[in-house]
Amino acid sequence: MSDQSTTRAPMPARKRGLGALLALAGERKTSLIWATVLSAMSSLLSLAPLLVIYLVLLHLAHPQQEKTLTELWSILGWGALAMGLRWLLQVSGGVLAHLAAFNILFDLRLAVADKLRRVPMGWITARNAESINKVLRDDVDRLELFIAHHLNDSAAALTLPVVSAIALFYLDWRMALVTLVTVPLAIVVQLLLWKKVPEVMREYNEVNAILASQVVQYVQGIAVIKTYRQGAASAASAVRLPQVVAAYFDVIVRMVKLTVPAWSAFTVVIGANMLCILPFGGYWYLQGSLSLELFVLCLLLGLGITRPLFQLAFFGSLMRLIQDGYGRVQDLMEAPELPDAANAANMQTPADNSVEFDGTSFAYGEITVLQDISFKIPAGSLTAIVGPSGAGKSTLAQLLVRFWDVQQGAVRIGGADVREIPLADMHSQVAYVMQDVFLFHDTVLENIRLGREDISEEQVVAAATAAQAHDFINCLPQGYQTVLGERGARLSGGEKQRLSIARALVKNSPVIVLDEATAFSDPVNEARLLQALGVLTRDKTVMVIAHRLSTIIDADQIVVLDTGRVIACGKHAQLLQDCTLYRHLWQLQSDSATWKIRSTPTDEHVKGAA
C-alpha cells in the first residue's frame, strides 16, 4: 500500500486569525471565494422587497391614471424575480461552500491521521487519548461549521449593513446618521464587556477536555465499579469525576455571567436606533423636508441593519472557539516526526534479517530506561528477552520496530541503522505481535489484512488457518465478514491473539517481535497459540519478550535485563548456572507452578475469621 503522506499537500505554515483559517482552503480557495460572493449578492437582493415597498408608495403618492396598475404589476414582477434570483444565489453559494468544506476537512482529517502515524509513540502516549480525539472530532467539526456556514453568513451579514448604510447616505444623510448613531456605542459596549471572555474560553476548553477524558475513564471502568458494588458517587471519586464536573460547572457559570450581560447590552443598544429614527424622521416629515415614502424606506433600512449586526457579533464570539480549535490542530500537525530516510543520501538497505543493538540507550524524558544495550540476533535465530518488570524489555522491542528513536547508540537490521531505512521499508521489515491486541471495529477479514488490498480472501483464510483461527472464525455469525465490536469485544483473549498472529502471517515480515503473546491464554489456547507461533516464526529472525521462562528454554540465546542493562546472555542451562537473577526468576516460576488454593481452611484461619 502506498504511503499517502507522500501525495498529500503539507499543512500551511502557522498563522493567526482569519488568515490561518482561510489558509486551510488551499486549492479550493476559488470555490470559497465564489461561495462568499454569491452569498453577498444574495444578501443584497434581500433589499428588493424594501425597494418594492418604496416604489409602490411612490406610485401611490403620485398616480398616473391608467399606467399606475400596469407599473405596479411590473414592480411586483421584478420583486418576485429578485426573490427567485436570491434563492438561486443562496443555494449555489451554500452548495459551493459545503462541497469545499467537506473536501477540505476530508483532507485535513486524513492529514491528521497520517501525521499520527509519523510521530513517535512517546509523543502520543504523553497525551490523553481523548484530547487527540477531541482534535479529530470537535475541533475539526467547528472548522466545518466555519467554512460551510459562518464564512458565507459573515460575508452576507457584512454586505447588507454596509450597502444599507451607503444607500441611506445617498437617500438622506440625516437619516443615515440617526440610524447608525447607536452602532459605535454598541461596539464599545461589546468590547468592554468581553475583555475577560478569552481567558474564560481557554479555561473552558481545558476543563472540557479533562471532563471528556474522565467520562471515558468512568465508562471504561464500569465493570470494576459493578464488581466492587460501588455507587456512582464513590466510584466517580476514584476517577475525580465530581471534581471535574464541579470545575466545569464553575467555568460555565463564569462564562454565562460574562457573556450574557455583554450580549444583552449589545442587543439593547444596537436595537435602540428606532428611538432616533422615528422621532427625527417624523419631525423632518412634518417639516416637509422628508417625503413619506422616503421616510418609510429609511425606517425599513434602519430596521434591516440591526439583524446582520447581531449575526456578526455572534460569529465574532465563535471565532475564539474556532481559532483555539484550529490552534490545537496546528499543534498536532507541528509535532516532531520520526525522520524518514526515503530521500536521504545515506539511505540504507538491510543486507539480511539479523538484528543488532549497539550501545543503545533510551530515556522517557529524564527517566532513563535503557543504558548501553549491546547484543546481536543472528538471522533466522530466536532470542528471548527476560527480566523483572520495569527492566526495559518492551521498550527494547519498541525501539526495534521504531516506535521511538534511540538517544545513543544504534539499532540495526541487516547492518542498516533503522533510522536510515525508509519508513515504508522499515514497516515491512518487522512484524510486532503485541501482548495487548488491538482490533478495529471492522470485519474479521479487514482486521487480518489490515488495509492491504493486494491480499486476497483466500490468502487471509490460509493465514487464519495457519494461526489456528479459522475454526472459531467460521463459528462467528457471518464468518470472515463478521464485524467485530470495539477493540474486538466479542472475542476472548486467545482468539484476539490468534487473529494478531494471522495478521503478522499476512504481513510476512522477515523479523518478528513477540511481546509475551501467550501471557493471558488458558492452557488450551496457549497450545494453539504456540502452534501458530511455530508457523509464524519459521525461517524468521525472532525476538521474544518473555515472562514465562518455560516457553523459551530452547531459545538460541536468552538476554537477561535488569534496570535497563544487559547483565547476562546465553542459553537456558548456562544462565541457570551463571546468572543469579535468571536462576531466581526460574525458581519463582517453579515455586508458583506448585502453588494451589487451600481446599480446607486451617484452625488458625477459622479462629482468625471468627
Range 66-74 average pLDDT: 70
Task: Between 58 and 461, name the one with better pLDDT.
Answer: 461
Residue extent(s) of CATH 1.20.1560.10 domains in the chain: 4-8+24-333
Q: pLDDT at position 489, please?
A: 65
Architecture of domain 355-593: 3-Layer(aba) Sandwich (3.40)
Q: How far apart are the first and last CA of the chain?
A: 67
pLDDT class of 180 with cuts at 50, 70, 90 = confident
Alpha-carbon distance of 346 to 405, in angstroms, equals 17
- Which residue, 555, 516, 565, 514, is CA-closest to 392? 565
pLDDT class of 491 with cuts at 50, 70, 90 = confident
Task: Between 20 and 169, name the one with better pLDDT.
Answer: 169
Encode pLDDT of 106-120 as tens digits.
Answer: 888 888 878 877 777
Average the pLDDT over each of 142-151, 398-407, 483-492 and give the range with the smallest value.
483-492
Encode pLDDT of 509-518 as tens digits.
Answer: 889 888 876 6
Length of the chain: 610
Residue extent(s) of CATH 3.40.50.300 domains in the chain: 355-593
Alpha-carbon distance of 195 to 215, in angstroms, equals 32
% helix, strand, coil for the chain, step of 5: 65, 10, 25
Distances from the Cα of 124 to the Cα of 108, 263, 446, angstroms: 19, 40, 25
Map 217-243 to HEC letters. Answer: HHHHCHHHHHHCCCCHHHHHHHCCHHH
12 has pLDDT over 50: no
- Which residue, 429, 408, 454, is CA-closest to 341? 429
Q: pLDDT at position 228, please?
A: 57
- Which residue, 449, 441, 443, 527, is CA-closest to 487? 441
**Mean pLDDT, the chain, whole residue set:** 78
The C-alpha cell of 218 is what? 468512568
Please report the DSSP string for 142-188 in residue order.
HHHHIIIIIHHHHHHHHHHHHHHHHHHHHH-HHHHHHHHTHHHHHHH
How many DSSP H helices and E strands does the chain contain? 26, 10
* 26-43 b/e (C-beta count within 10 Å ≥ 16 → b): bebeebbeebbbbbbbbb
Query: Does the structural domain 4-8+24-333 have CATH classification 3.40.50.80?
Result: no
33 has pLDDT over 50: yes
